[in-house]
Chains A and B, each alone.
Chain A
Amino acid sequence: MSLSKAEVKNIADLARLELGDDELPDVIENLSRIIDFVDQLQAVDTDGVEPMAHPLDMVQRLREDVVTERNQRDLYQANAAAVEAGLYLVPKVIE
């Protein structure tokens, strides 16, 4: 089963991955092969089987609602491409 060009472009868009027209054929082929491969799962009888989100029988641990972290903004922002006055700079969002 081959994925269509439109489907692949939509996936790339959802994943925020720019895809050039020259790259499309290889991506379509490889993704289609992978989806074909995992389609084997469709034939498995899973009636009444609980999906396993987590290998251990664990419940989300909770803690007291108190502040435990300290503000280290400058340290963390050292890795940012562009910052100003403690804010991250990005290309204009609103025209």
Chain B
Amino acid sequence: MHTKTLAELSAALRAREFSSVELTSHYLERIGRLDASLNSFVTVTADQALAAAADADVRIAAGDAGPLVGIPIAHKDIFCTAGVRTSCGSRMLDNFVSPYDATVVARLRAAGAVMLGKTNMDEFAMGSSNETSYYGPVRNPWDTSRVPGGSSGGSAAAVAARLAPGATGTDTGGSIRQPAALTGITGLKPTYGRVSRYGMIAFASSLDQAGTLTVTAEDAALMLAAMAGFDGNDSTSVDRDVPDYALHLNDSIAGLRIGMPVEFFDEGLEQENRGVIDQALDAYRALGCEVVEVSLPNLALSVPTYYVVAPAECSSNLSRFDGVRFGYRTDRAGDLREMYSRSRAEGFGDEVKRRIMTGTYALSAGYYDAYYLKAQQVRQLISADFHAAFERVDVLMGPTTPTPAFEIGAKTADPITMYLNDIYTIGVNLAGLPGMSIPCGFVDGLPVGLQLMGPAFSESRLLQVAHAYQKETSWHRQMPGADFD
């Protein structure tokens, strides 16, 4: 059953080939048997999953043909789930049982999806390797000595190992696309404001966006349809109709103009990765697309810009964790100030503290203009580059990452080395635009991802473009070795 895509499982459930209870039990058994070597789940909600699956079977029997009814999925542990621990990968929230559902969770539940559990992630979504989690690193199913990427590493590893047919993730600087690339699956980050952030624990409020990790673009379309749309509870939610993504999936892409930003193909990109990406672009030429070079001149500034903006916003967002109303409280509380500073020092990991301090510095008196304001101006320039490119082409394509998955521990010595992994993904977050990563080949047995980027609210087009490639190729159907059969 787990070798089928989400769409195939959906058709099978509606054709009564098996029940949701059987399907859910199948995945729960796989998680129980295989997740020890991946550590992709923080919490498995077996009883609730089976109860929800039984309810789904009743809906299916009554003729409810919704595509997600009875489909098991996993949620990144950044989404609040009522009555279930929501840890955000941190000791700070290890004891936090959310009193409410995030909008994303509520909508997928209403659509009939069955929650298998909460997936592991970099602490507070800060990381590119899933090595900063309080619950230990997640391992890449293609090679368990290597990282799956981050921060949505748990969701990516779970889907890649077929422990779940689909999972939610979040992407602030690449945290859906990069792990999708490193684990050989399809990742989608929608336009900022397309999916509600209500109940999604905040890291950087002007960058955070919820999205999907699935095997195929078709599967992503099915999940996005349920997740997207205006939400009055999110003041940054955009009131704009949600297209029927599934309906337009098979539209022709002949004549599509594809731009290759030259800055994505510099010395930073490993030669072998470049070869795989070039082949993917050839496949698009063969499909009748026109591929031209474009330039995003300020791209190199996206990493330093991000590492001012995101920490600044996170320093503000994480100030709510003070041991008073929820979350970790120190045993060593002296006076109130000590309670705050000890709870936070003990509850947060090193990377989180580093980013809070970077942000505090950038926002502090005397430095605000030089750092935060300056970064927001450079952000405007980076965004303008994308808009200029989209006047000439319909879609941008390039590598998602500079290299394939690296070894656990290889990049933890110097924070900057880790930050540079995000070089190709960050631009789109700064500009608020949608992006995807789809599998396009392998280097030394490790997956390589092709990144697709589009203008605001072009998710329908991106999904078509990804789907067209997935109809002609089978990289996305390949699964990690016999260990995960």
Contacts and interface: CB of A to CB of B under 8 A. Distances in A.
Contacts of B193: 56, 58
Nearest to B326: A79
A1 interface: no
B155 interface: no
Contact of A51 (B315, B376, B415, B430): B376
Contacts of A35: 358, 361
A41 B375 contact: yes
A16 B374 contact: no
Size category, A interface: 35 or more
B329 A42 contact: no
B304 A41 contact: yes
Nearest to A49: B377
A15 interface: yes
The A interface is mostly helix, strand or loop, or mixed, namely loop
Nearest to B237: A61
A60 B383 CA distance: 21
A71 interface: no
B416 A37 contact: yes
Contacts of B322: 16
B54 interface: no
Nearest to A15: B360
The B interface is mostly helix, strand or loop, or mixed, namely helix
A60 B235 contact: yes
Interface stretch (B28-36, B174-182, B333-341): B333-341
Interface of A: 3, 7-8, 11-19, 27, 30-31, 33-35, 37-42, 44, 46, 49-56, 58, 60-61, 63, 72, 75-82, 88, 90-93
Interface of B: 95-97, 99, 192-193, 206, 232, 235-236, 238, 298, 301, 304-305, 307-308, 315, 319, 322-327, 329, 333-342, 344-345, 348, 353-354, 356-358, 360-362, 364, 370-371, 373-381, 383, 414-416, 419, 430-433, 456
Contacts of A17: 341, 344-345, 348, 353, 356-357
A34 B415 CA distance: 8
A78 B238 contact: no
Nearest to B456: A56
A38 B371 contact: yes
A19 B356 CA distance: 13
Contact of B99 (A40, A58, A75, A91): A75
Centre residue among A77, A78, A81 by max chain B CB count within 10 A:
A81
Given A33-B416, A51-B373, A18 B354 contact: no
Given A27-B357, A44-B377, A55-B431, 9 more contacts: A11-B360, A16-B344, A18-B338, A39-B304, A41-B304, A46-B377, A55-B192, A58-B193, A79-B327
A12 to B, nearest CB: 6
A49 B377 CA distance: 6
Given A16-B340, A18-B345, A46-B374, A34 B358 contact: yes
Contact of B378 (A41, A60, A88): A41
A41 B308 contact: yes
A44 B308 CA distance: 15
B378 A44 contact: yes
Closest 8 CB pairs of A and B: A55-B432, A51-B376, A46-B377, A79-B326, A81-B329, A18-B345, A18-B341, A52-B380
A28 B323 CA distance: 26
Contacts of A51: 373, 376-377, 379-380
Given A52-B383, A55-B206, A80 B344 contact: no
A70 B453 CA distance: 42
Centre residue among A27, A56, A63 by max chain B CB count within 10 A:
A56
Contacts of B415: 30, 33-34
A80 B301 contact: no
